[in-house]
A = this chain, B = another copy of it.
Amino acid sequence: MEVQPKGIVLKAIRTHCTDTEWLGRSRCARCDIHTTVVQHLAEPEKTDAALKPIENVLFGNHALIYREGDALQSLYMLRRGFVKLVQHTLSGTSRIVRIIKSGGMFGLESLIDERGRHTAFAVGEVDVCRIPVKSIRRLQQDNYPMAEHLMARWQGNLDSADHVITHLSTGSSRARVASFLLQARYDVSGGECEYLSREELAGLLGLTIETVSRTLAEFKRSGVLREEHRAFYFERSQLAKIAQE
């Protein structure tokens, strides 16, 4: 229950928890993500009722969203920012299992048995929709094509987990860091690239902070990587070569 991730300090927890009206229908209806979840609204009036309990919540960097073992009554849709899902190992260190990117969902396990599988932290400024399980069930009952979307989400998370196993937890430190940069860069849309700290990178790649730092430094020295204002720049082909070492 109690999670004390080594070296990670929780900073601000700002939850601009809005009243139901503010977000209930007016916002959801025009949310670009909304359409991917609730499509083909055959009977809008029913949908509105189901959507009302959805809260829009903002978290500051390092904010705790939920803990491993928590009883989750909601799942989350990430509208902006990144969320890291952390599990602690038997030895007490913590391992980042997945990075959720905007548009992704997490806490889906709440639909199965409510037991949160990870501790979820905000990485940077984060904007989520907290969707009560009840809302989902209600939509499902009304026979909205909810299930298929959810299954696709599950598969997406599974793909992400498999990627961490195959590419970020296997091979030399050079290959892992390169693999991370390739897919991180690839997934960032819009240019602004808020990225993980060295410590978070270490937790995701199963390496130490020092090794990550050294590896990045070496990449920079050899000219395949540039770092400016907390953003990385590189040529894909060069890093791709390193990733397959």
Residues of A within 8 A of B (CB): 87-93, 95, 97-98, 108-109, 111-112, 117-118, 140, 143, 147-148, 150-152, 154-155, 157-159, 161-162, 164-167, 169-171, 175, 179, 206, 240, 243-245
Closest 8 CB pairs of A and B: A147-B147, A161-B161, A154-B154, A90-B244, A169-B169, A87-B166, A112-B155, A91-B244
Report B-chain residues with C-beta under 8 Å of the C-beta of A143. Answer: 143
Residue contact B151 to A97, C-beta cutoff 8 Å? no
How many copies of this kind of chain does the complex include?
Answer: 2
Given A90-B243, A169-B165, A243-B90, A147 and B158 touching (CB < 8 A)?
no
Q: Tell me the minimal C-beta distance from A64 to chain B in angstroms.
A: 19
Give the docked Cα–Cα distance between A179 and B90 (Å).
Answer: 9
Secondary structure of the A side of the interface?
Answer: helix
| The one of B109, B152, B170 that contacts A89, using a Cβ cutoff of 8 Å | B170
| The one of B97, B157, B245 that contacts A165, using a Cβ cutoff of 8 Å | B97
Given A90-B175, A175-B91, A97 and B162 touching (CB < 8 A)?
yes
Given A117-B159, A117-B162, A244-B90, A95 and B151 touching (CB < 8 A)?
no
Give the docked Cα–Cα distance between A171 and B169 (Å).
Answer: 11
Residue contact B154 to A158, C-beta cutoff 8 Å? yes
Give the docked Cα–Cα distance between A148 and B146 (Å).
Answer: 11
Given A90-B175, A245-B91, A112 and B170 touching (CB < 8 A)?
no
Report B-chain residues with C-beta under 8 Å of the C-beta of A95. Answer: 165-166, 170
Least CB separation from A241: chain B residue:
B90
Give the docked Cα–Cα distance between A97 and B118 (Å).
Answer: 19
Q: Tell me the minimal C-beta distance from A10 to chain B in angstroms.
A: 21
Least CB separation from A182: chain B residue:
B90
Report B-chain residues with C-beta under 8 Å of the C-beta of A140. Answer: 147
